[in-house]
Structure 1
Amino acid sequence: MKYANVFASVIGISLLAACGSAGTKEAPKTADKPAAAPKVEQPKELVFYNASNSNATLEAFLDSDQGKEIKAKYPDLSIKLLATGKGLEPQDIIASGHPIDIIINSVFSYPVLVETKLISDISDLIKKYGYDLNRIEPAFIDSQRLLENGKVYGLPTANAGVALFYNKDIFDKFGVAYPKDGMTWDQTYDLAKKLTRTDGGVQYYGFATRYPFMYNVNQLSLSYYNLQTNKITVNNDLFKTFIENFARFEQIPGNEKVNTDVFNKEKRVAMMAYQSGKWDFDSWDMVSMPSFKDAPGVGPQGYGTYMNIAATSKNKDFAFEVLAHLSSDAVQKKFAQGGSIPVVRTPDVVKAFDQDAGRFKGKNVKAFFPDKRPTPSFVTKYDNAIAKHMNNAYADVAAGKKDVNTALRDAEEAATKEIASMKQ
């Protein structure tokens, strides 16, 4: 399923990043509001369903921050996990009446979950238990409200840390100054040209990323499809800017088709725009994601993991209690101290980042916390079909097979035909 590998890595490393929207309001200084209703009776079993990763396993979930916390809080609770795949797609779950309680997903899975009615608005539970949504980074909620008439379907529990990572050894080797926070993509491109070279028979690459991932966290609030106008929105100047920006890095002689894996495995990539991982060398650091001239100082979109209550669950109140617990200030602070950036914006919690783990000791951790975030992109059930053609368009531009205008026009035409067929 689309984005499955990336989502799996989010669960696996459980690295979170703060997420907000442009013009983010000042973080609240109040703690969680206490529940207004009496304690909910705990069921014997809770069934989780991973709607984004067909390779998800119970063992991996129980070893994640979220899984460990649930077992610690509810030691007598039996936990089961199903993963999407053949016979277990959302529509299959609905058709079979398979009992599930909590759905784990990324924002990209929301359209099919909403369309199949496997999830429903939880505003009534938020109100019933006095849950304070203002503590959550705004874009996590805003991205859901774009789906259908301002509804809220779940709560975030994790997010990937996104930044520009760099290998100090390569910069030192060639006598080039390190990247800085607040750079533009043009400045990054100039650095990449300087650092793409061969030395002693070894090819070094100035820059690496992955176009699909950069679209997912794009800083220009780009969307493949507009739900309000019911039109494909890819053939415009902002998409041209976006594609040309990343294609030019691949057009640097010697920097063609470099993979992000080379950053860690072979250590021959000077800079990489991507989500954080567990790099097996120490001489790396990070700076804020470079920004576009069209959106100065705007960081990447959030890349979150959400938990939602299944519309068919018989344990909705308890399921909400679990979601509220995982996203509480106390638990998010615990996660933050262990090296996971919180999904809440409570100052005390944010400051606790990496206090115990030391995983990012000496690193420029403020790169994970940009001052501004873009307005979330629309996410629709047509994105998979459009993405296929847009990925091809990007590859054609990067390889010099098509100019950007032709590539986007061809992608728009092909996607329009495919979506028309889907609608019929």
Structure 2
Amino acid sequence: MKKLLITALAACFAITGLAGCTSNNGTNAPEQSDNAQSTNEASVEPANTEGSGDGGNSLFFYTAQNPVYEDEANFERLIGQYIRKKFPDIDLKHVHWNDGTRYEDLIAKGTIPDIVFEQVRRNTSRMVKKFKLEYDMSDLIKQFNFDTSKLDPASMEVIKTASDGKTYALPFEMSDFVLAYNKDIFDKYGLDYPKDGMTYDEAYELAKKLTRQDGDITYKGFQQHPSHYMMYNQLSEPALDPNEDKGALDSDTWLKIVNNIRRFYEIPGNQFTTTSDFPKGQMAMSVDVVENVLKWSTEYPDLNFDLASVPVFPEASSSKYQPNLNGLFITQQSKNKELAFQVIQYLLSDEVQAERQKESIIGPLNVPEVQQAFAQNVPQMKDKHIQALFALQSAMPAPRKPGLTFINPPVQQVFQPNIFEQSKDSATALRVVNEMINKQLAETKAAIDAGGDGTAYQ
């Protein structure tokens, strides 16, 4: 039964929620959520409704992300059981986002959640703030003496930026990227395996040696999705200007970021296709989300692979991707804010996070003993170097002045279509997308000034 659950978790994580719905331009984007379509529906008046709880020990928990929690048994196993254990008197109600239980549906019924589980970077604005549910937890953090220093600093910065300098959420689940490598291919050509902290230059040299035709077999040396690489770039370069409502892709650092990965796909035979072909056995290295790696380990038990950290830039030698983060929000309408915060505080305890890590769910605690528990309940990962996930620190997102206009910058379009389809040079591709960002920012500001919610490009 446990094996079946793990398989289901890996599969669900890999295809939706945290790790990869299809975005509007057809690229695979980790944080495109399954509730995205609600932003395209008729506008709903924000709620001034009181929370659905009646005070006392009633608590309404709403999971707007991760379809794993659509199954009530999974919610109970991964979240509910811990709440009931610590707070046995709580009357816990859980609802997952779906047709009939979207934000606007709950608001129309006057049933506002106490706690919302939601994607932070984009959906703080286009969902939580759109429906006027945001609530700053700073005073509760002080009141209950919650130690945020144990939380991933980059995740806290993501929240701060999305919360206009406040704390509308606390980090809860993270999707992370790792390099998987095929040991058989490395052994075949007598090359040393990748190590944690390998630079992109070293990865590039390996990719050139491992991209080859061997009889009827074509080997690709390296695949890394450029959209993910750009969105969560390890040099912390902003796509939106930190101080003004304009794009920021016109920098030498962005040119370096683009050219760094572009060279891999100019190796003859190593053009970008997809990272997900790795388990077919003809790809030497693939940078992908750990949820996909877990799925490969289950579906391809004979695949001889191991893990290393994502390649790094020499000037940011300890930095992996920026966080791809889901957080827990308390709504301003909740009548039970203190109880809701105590529940969140317990869910972020070492005890609970270690148990969740065993089920291969990455949490935000920078506690070695908790991190070392990762995937202990996944037999297929027993001999894998899973600590590669924790060998580096999350890159810090660039801070941005509160009050500026937010859009989801379409950085994926630098490569697709501008480079891959239209063969533009890197500087031109960046300029084209930067102009697109400026246009989208202007349209968003105009929509807000006209009384709209400004979520068209979020």
Deviations 1:218-277 (A, max 9, x none): 21112221352222111211111112222222222222232121113x232211112213
Mapped contact 2:196–2:309 kept (Cα < 8 A): yes
Question: Which residue among 207, 214, 220 is the counterpart of 1:192?
Answer: 207
TM-score, with structure 1 as normaliser: 0.80
Mapped contact 1:145–1:151 kept (Cα < 8 A): yes
1:409 corresponds to: 431
CA distance in 2, matches of 1:85, 1:241: 44
Q: CA deviation at 1:56?
A: 6.2
Mapped contact 1:53–1:84 kept (Cα < 8 A): no
Does 2:282 match 1:268?
yes
Q: Which moved more, 1:123-132 or 1:76-85?
A: 76-85
Structure 1's consecutive aligned runs of 4 or more residues displaced over 6 angstroms after TM superposition are 84-87
Distance 1:268 1:300, change over 3 A: same
Q: Which moved more, 1:122-131 or 1:104-113?
A: 104-113
Q: Which moved more, 1:268-277 or 1:366-375?
A: 366-375
Distance 1:357 1:391, change over 3 A: closer
Does 2:17 match 1:7?
yes
Distance 1:163 1:4, change over 3 A: closer
2:113 corresponds to: 100
2:193 corresponds to: 178
Mapped contact 2:179–2:308 kept (Cα < 8 A): yes
SS of residue matched to 1:410: helix
SS of residue matched to 1:203: strand
Mapped contact 2:124–2:163 kept (Cα < 8 A): no
Question: Which residue among 154, 157, 164 is the counterpart of 2:169?
Answer: 154
Deviations 1:281-314 (A, max 9, x none): 3521111221113423322222222111122222
Mapped contact 1:56–1:83 kept (Cα < 8 A): no
SS of residue matched to 1:269: coil
Does 2:124 match 1:110?
yes
Does 2:75 match 1:62?
yes
Report the residue type matching 2:407 in the other structure. Answer: D
CA distance in 1, matches of 2:395, 2:240: 17
CA distance in 2, matches of 1:171, 1:414: 42
Q: CA deviation at 1:172?
A: 1.7
Does 2:350 match 1:329?
yes
Mapped contact 2:95–2:101 kept (Cα < 8 A): no
Q: CA deviation at 1:182?
A: 1.9
Does 2:414 match 1:393?
yes
Does 2:326 match 1:290?
no
Deviations 1:178-211 (A, max 9, x none): 1122211111111112112233322221111222
1:320 corresponds to: 341
Deviations 1:91-140 (A, max 9, x none): 77667644222111222222332354322101121122221212222222
Does 2:244 match 1:222?
no
CA distance in 2, matches of 1:127, 1:329: 19
Report the residue type matching 1:250 in the other structure. Answer: Y
Question: Which residue among 55, 58, 61 is the counterpart of 1:47?
Answer: 61
Q: Which moved more, 1:143-152 or 1:375-384?
A: 375-384
Report the residue type matching 2:441 in the other structure. Answer: I
Report the residue type matching 2:75 in the other structure. Answer: L
CA distance in 2, matches of 1:311, 1:179: 48
Structure 1 portions without partners, runs of 5+: 11-39
Mapped contact 1:118–1:310 kept (Cα < 8 A): yes
Does 2:250 match 1:235?
yes
After superposition, where does 1:15-26 map in structure 2 within 5 Å? none
CA distance in 1, matches of 2:163, 2:245: 14
CA distance in 1, matches of 2:91, 2:331: 18
CA distance in 1, matches of 2:68, 2:359: 25
Mapped contact 2:246–2:441 kept (Cα < 8 A): no
CA distance in 1, matches of 2:214, 2:87: 57
TM-score, with structure 2 as normaliser: 0.75
Q: CA deviation at 1:333?
A: 2.4
Report the residue type matching 2:117 in the other structure. Answer: I
Question: Which residue among 444, 447, 452 is the counterpart of 1:422?
Answer: 444
Q: CA deviation at 1:53?
A: 5.5
Report the residue type matching 1:414 in the other structure. Answer: M
CA distance in 2, matches of 1:56, 1:135: 26
Distance 1:419 1:4, change over 3 A: farther
Distance 1:340 1:393, change over 3 A: closer
Which structure would you say has the larger RCO, counting Cα contacts within 8 Å and 6 or more residues apart?
1
1:165 corresponds to: 180
Structure 2 portions without partners, runs of 5+: 1-12, 21-54, 447-458
1:213 corresponds to: 228
